[in-house]
Amino acid sequence: MTTDRSTSSGPALLEVLDVSKSFGAVAAVQGVSFPLYAGEAHALVGENGAGKSTIVKMLAGVHRPDTGTLRADGENRTFHSPADAKAAGIAVIYQEPTLFPDLSVAENIAMGNAPLTRLRQIDRRSMRATAERLFARLGVRIDPDRPARGLSIADQQIVEIAKALSTKARVLIMDEPTAALSGVEVERLFSVVRSLRDEGAAIMFISHRFEEITALCQRVTIMRDGRHVATEKVEDLSVDDMIRRMVGRDLSALFPKQEVTAGDVVLTVEGLSREGVFRDISFEVRAGEIVALAGLVGSGRSEVMQAVFGVDPYDSGTVVFNGKRLKPRNPRAAMNAGLALVPEDRRQQGLVMDLSIARNVTLPRSGALARLGLLFGGTEKREAESWTRKLQTRFGRLSDAVGTLSGGNQQKVVLAKWLATGPKLLIVDEPTRGIDVGTKAEVHRLMSSLAADGMAVVMVSSELPEVLGMADRVLVLREGHLVAELSRAEATEESVMYAAMGQKVTA
Amino acid sequence: MSVAVTEIHKQDQKPGRSLGYVFRQREMGIVLALVALVAYTAINQSRFLSSQSIRDILLNTAILAVLASGMAVVVITRHIDLSVGSVLGLSAFAVATVMQHNQDLPMVAALALGLGIGAVAGVVNGALVHFGNVPALVVTLGTMYAYRGLTYSWAGGQQVTADEVPRHFLRFANSDLLGVPWLVIIALAVIAGVGVMMRNYRIGRELYAMGSSPQAAGLAGIKIARNTLVAFVISGALAGLGGVLYASRFGTVDAASGNGYELQVVAAVVVGGVAVFGGSGTIWGAGLGALLLTVIGSALAVLDINQFWQQAIVGALIVLAIGADRLVAVRIARSLRKRDSHV
Amino acid sequence: MSELRGRLASWDSAIIGVTVLVLIGASIGVENFGNSSNFTFLILDLLPIALIALPMTMIVITGEIDLSVASTLGLTSAIMGDLWNRGLTIETIMPLCVLAGALLGAVNGFLINRLGLPSLAVTIGTLALYRGLALVVLGDAAVADFPWTYTGWVTGTIGGAVPNVLIILVVLAVIAGVVLHATPFGRSLFAIGANDQAARFSGINVTRTKFWLYVVSGAVAGLAGVLWTLRYSSARADNGAGLELAVVAAVLLGGVSIFGGKGSLWGVLSGVLLLAALQNALRLQDVSGQALNIVTGVLLIASVLLPNIITGTRNALQKRRLRAAVPAQSS
């Protein structure tokens, strides 16, 4: 558990030098530089959308920098493909592990450099032995012959690490590996990573959890809006320092929450269960209040709200809205009753990227807008125009594909789409993920004023400051159970994290 | 803590084994169905097991099995090749025409010519799929038309008849090596060769990987372009080989030879347990699928059941096979979700 | 303005343009192409493909496919022959056949949407199954003695110029066009095809919508079966064999994306017309219709390949411009 290993100097294993990358008009990364040394674990932090994943993808050979260079072992390198990055000794472990579900664990590890017999056939015995040796070294027991399909996320990550070890990778990049892990699994992962670090590998570790960063890393690079802010020793920075530099301003100024007195109960959820996902969830939401659903990724927060809205099924329990029971698995009925859900994943769930802004805004309401069952361009356009103006959305033309907008403006289109239905309860899942700081504040102001006007708001969020800043009440989920209900006064960073992790934070 | 870890992984062991069992079950299911069908038919009509009847079944299976082996490779890679029937027709007509004009050409040259034509057709398919970024369904639907049209415009309504091609060419399909027809030997060799490639060689495993998860394959640095080409070339070349065998077996060839054959080939592959969405299934499963389809046809004839039922049964079998795959997948997913959850 | 330019650049308007050019060119250059009896033949030839293409367009726009349509046509034709042999009146038989088609479509819809099976595989299966059932119903026999009132009507014209069946086609095409392009239902089809998850999150019942599309597809194929039988005055189990691929080719050629979410009915109808006109003109020139397969195949691939190449080059150019511009800025 010690973190007092001194950072080794000497030549960097990998250097990022003045690298920039744009996607269309959006500059994801601009002029970022930092080195990775052997024997260090280096944290990369920043808000969502700060450009961390783009850095990872450039190091992995998925994207090529528009400008700037990557230097491995003192030599300039251009990675044309993931294979090039792999050959340079870089291994990447993504948030979502990238295994082949139909192949065996041993094959997954050996993919790309499988041992061969003299006839150039794959040497299954040696492949299996390698897997077993690697697992023994990592101190885990996974059957090398089982297919990768069905491994838990934690085990999949272990397999990914074994894969990295098998290629003799000396730079290990981990993109939020702990997001979906339980406390025990995180501990196991860390002990593996520490031993690799001590054997001379360079680790780049991306995480939102500061206690993990202080527990594991020696140095930290902070990014904001695609730019490099600082690279410092972890011990020289307090958590507050890091957050301040990530956000670029004081937290208190960010959340314009107005005080409101809650009205009548509008939503009552009782005993809601879905096998393997969440169990026995009960809570109420009143008009005019903002209720936050907190918890780790994978704790079942989004799934609960999706079940309430009817896009996901549930096995038992009831959802009552304004005194009427909502039909399960029927989002249309929920919509008609006055519910709206702004989903977590804007690209996959919130918007149809190829369709125009106007079509997206009016999609849930196209039935109501039709005259004699027919839609004419005019009505949709007018409706979309009025709502996008209300939310101050910036775009070229309403007929542009919504995919051409920036993240923040896309989020405004999703909000417009649902506010246009005139909801009495607005569910927002990660309302500010991946959008710029300015728009973030706008979204927060909007939520606050909607609540002030008597709308009930349920907010699912992974960002603690947002939860603490916006919510009148905080519900905390852990592993599918509702474990705490905290009032605005009771909710602190510690109390919420404690409830979410179910244990004292190890630091 | 280490105790906890051990505990977690002890649980992993059992489902792992049962999963493998489920996958193996697939080919066993076909074998059992075959055995049951053959036994039932033979009990009712003993001549079903006469050596002539068996020989006919095997000869009828051979060409289908050769094409199914190639199709299985493409389907495992999460593509499809609808052009195989047209490639067979093109190759059959080309080879028959060349043999007609060069009576002394040895059989080996005919085989090489067929393989070559098929391989070129496969290169075109693969290149359009990978470099043109056009879905295999569209590409091979298009080349299915194009290759067929090519044959038609070449043949122009002509046909090559059995008495115009050399004797040794016709004899090949109907002669034996140690009592086993050459056609069957070739089919077995193809199944074994492609099967070993898919099972034991890097390229084969990479094809499975590409079908199992295309994104992960890209990230793992697999040579997608080369492998896609290889898959389509194998399928094309084997369809070309099938064309030679077809011409040799039937002697009479016109531009319509093998029209609509692609559906039978897809049926054999799907019934043989190759998942339509890639990543799983085996070559010998596809071969078994081809055998099962042929046996059904012969059994209906022998049992004096209306021949017209055959196609309906094939259709029902395809739907059944897909349904069974889905059922197994859903059941596995459910049991895994239960096991992995902490709830 | 640039909206208009985008329109003009799109594949479906290109195909409309090509179709018009081919029609004009053939009328001038090919003897007899423009006369009215040839026009009737042209319409009769493209009728089944055009009819089936209407629901197929919607199905492909939702990102699915239905390869069983031609077999459905064959099976309803066989049923029609069988029922006629059993002595039912033609007025009873025709609606029964359309109903039978709808039922066959419902089977597809059930397998695909309730059981969640892939539509490509399912409809390859039912393609074989329905054709097989057609053979079981009618064997290799043909039923030919349908009443002249109907067979004559199908091949007849209004005033020698407008084929009677064109009325059916126009009415159904207008309905399909309005439904696809100007109703909430049509909007939902595009949304489903472009992103079915987002469609579900927007309150669209994806499985139910797709289910009904297959029912309609089956019913229209049934109607096409009836018309086919009457046109040739021959109910046979192999009627319309292979037609499914011609329909899919026309739909893709008409600019509908095989991945779903994009396309227009006008594009598809001109795709149908283009293929039929080419075939007709070549036949008048005594060129084998079968050789036209090459053109069909190449056009089909080009309809997806060309837009890919265009966007690919555009992106590459943009990237190069960006790369050229950035260093100047940062220095």
The A-side interface with C (CB below 8 A) comprises 18, 20, 22, 31, 66-67, 311, 331-332, 334-335, 341, 343, 348-355, 359, 363-364, 366-367, 369-370, 373-376, 397, 399, 417
Domain boundaries, chain C: 15-23+33-282+293-301
The verdict on a CB contact (< 8 Å) between B153 and C125 is no
- CATH number of the domain at C15-23+33-282+293-301, out of 1.10.3470, 1.10.3210, 1.10.540, 3.20.20? 1.10.3470
Per the DSSP assignment, residues forming a β-bridge with A93 are A174
What is the Cα–Cα distance from A433 to A249, expressed in whole angstroms? Answer: 18
Q: pLDDT digits over A58-67, tens only? A: 998 888 999 9
How close are the terminal C-alpha atoms of chain A, in Å? 8
A12-99+151-248 CATH fold = Rossmann fold (3.40.50)
What confidence score (pLDDT) does residue B13 get? 38
CATH 3.40.50.300 fits A250-338+423-507, yes or no: yes
What confidence score (pLDDT) does residue A180 get? 66
Which DSSP state fits C10?
S
**Stretch A86-115: mean pLDDT, rounded?**
87
Q: Which of A188-202, A432-446, B10-24 has the highest mean pLDDT?
A: A188-202
What is the Cα–Cα distance from A190 to A170, expressed in whole angstroms? Answer: 17
Closest CA to A208 of A477, A462, A491: A462
Please indicate whether residue A440 or residue C331 has the higher confidence score (pLDDT).
A440
Helix axes C206-232, C90-109, angle to 10 degrees: 140
The verdict on a CB contact (< 8 Å) between B132 and C245 is no
Domain boundaries, chain A: 12-99+151-248, 250-338+423-507, 353-421
Chain C partners (3+ C-beta pairs within 8 A): A, B
Closest CA to A506 of A190, A43, A158: A190
Q: Is B133 on the interface with A (CB under 8 A)?
A: no
Closest CA to A356 of C204, C191, C59: C191
Burial class (CB in 10 A: 0-12, 13-18, 19+), A141: middle
Please indicate whether residue B196 or residue A260 has the higher confidence score (pLDDT).
B196
Which among A99, A103, A157 is the top mutation candidate for probing chain B, defined by the most B β-carbons within 10 Å of its own β-carbon? Answer: A103
In-domain check, residue B201: yes
| pLDDT at residue A259 greater than cutoff 80 | no
Confirm if A97 and A164 have CB atoms less than 8 A apart: no
Q: Which amino acid is at C50?
A: A
CA B70 to chain centre: 5
The verdict on a CB contact (< 8 Å) between A66 and C203 is no
- The total of other beta-carbon atoms located within 10 Å of residue C215's CB is 21
The verdict on a CB contact (< 8 Å) between A66 and C322 is yes
Confirm if A413 and A385 have CB atoms less than 8 A apart: no
| pLDDT at residue C328 greater than cutoff 70 | no
In-domain check, residue B10: no
Which DSSP state fits A6?
P
| pLDDT at residue B24 greater than cutoff 60 | no
Confidence of residue B6 (pLDDT cuts 50, 70, 90): very low
What is the Cα–Cα distance from B159 to B164, expressed in whole angstroms? Answer: 10
Q: Which two tokens stand for residue A386?
A: 């009025």
Which residues in chain A are contacts of B220 at CB distance < 8 A? Answer: 82, 98, 111-112
Phi, psi of A75 (to 5 degrees): -115, 140
DSSP string, B266-323: HHHHHHTT--TTSS---HHHHHHHHHHHHHHHHHHHHTT--TTHHHHHHHHHHHHHHH
Confirm if B236 and B87 have CB atoms less than 8 A apart: yes
What confidence score (pLDDT) does residue C49 get? 96
Please indicate whether residue A465 or residue B334 has the higher confidence score (pLDDT).
A465
What is the Cα–Cα distance from A92 to A56, expressed in whole angstroms? Answer: 8
CA A13 to chain centre: 28
What confidence score (pLDDT) does residue A260 get? 77
Q: Which amino acid is at B122?
A: G
What is the Cα–Cα distance from C48 to C296, expressed in whole angstroms? Answer: 17
Identity of the residue in B157, B260, B266 whose CB atom sits nearest the CB atom of C242: B260
Q: Which two tokens stand for residue A77?
A: 């390198």
Stated length of chain C: 331
CATH number of the domain enclosing B233: 1.10.3470
The verdict on a CB contact (< 8 Å) between A351 and C198 is yes
3-state secondary structure A192-247: HHHHHHHCCCEEEEECCCHHHHHHHCCEEEEEECCEEEEEEEHHHCCHHHHHHHHH
Write down the mean pLDDT value for chain B: 86
Secondary structure (3-state) at C295: helix
Tally of helices (H runs) and strands (E runs) in chain A: 17, 20
Residue of B nearest to C128 (CA): B315
Q: pLDDT digits over B37-78, tens only? A: 999 999 988 888 888 889 889 999 999 999 999 999 999 999
Range of the domain at B302: 28-38+51-329
Q: pLDDT digits over A328-365, tens only? A: 999 999 999 999 999 988 888 999 998 999 999 999 98
Q: Could you give the number of structural domains in chain B?
A: 1
Closest CA to A109 of A148, A69, A59, A141: A148
Phi, psi of B90 (to 5 degrees): -60, -50
Which among A327, A352, A359, A371 is the top mutation candidate for probing chain C, defined by the most C β-carbons within 10 Å of its own β-carbon? Answer: A352
| pLDDT at residue B220 greater than cutoff 80 | yes
Q: Which of A179-188, A243-252, A256-265, B149-158 has the highest mean pLDDT?
A: B149-158
The C-side interface with A (CB below 8 A) comprises 3, 178, 182-184, 186-188, 190-191, 194-195, 197-205, 261-262, 322-323, 326-327, 330
| pLDDT at residue C2 greater than cutoff 70 | no
What is the least distance, in Å, from the CA of B305 to any CA of chain A? 41
Closest CA to B119 of B227, B230, B233: B233
The verdict on a CB contact (< 8 Å) between C300 and B153 is no
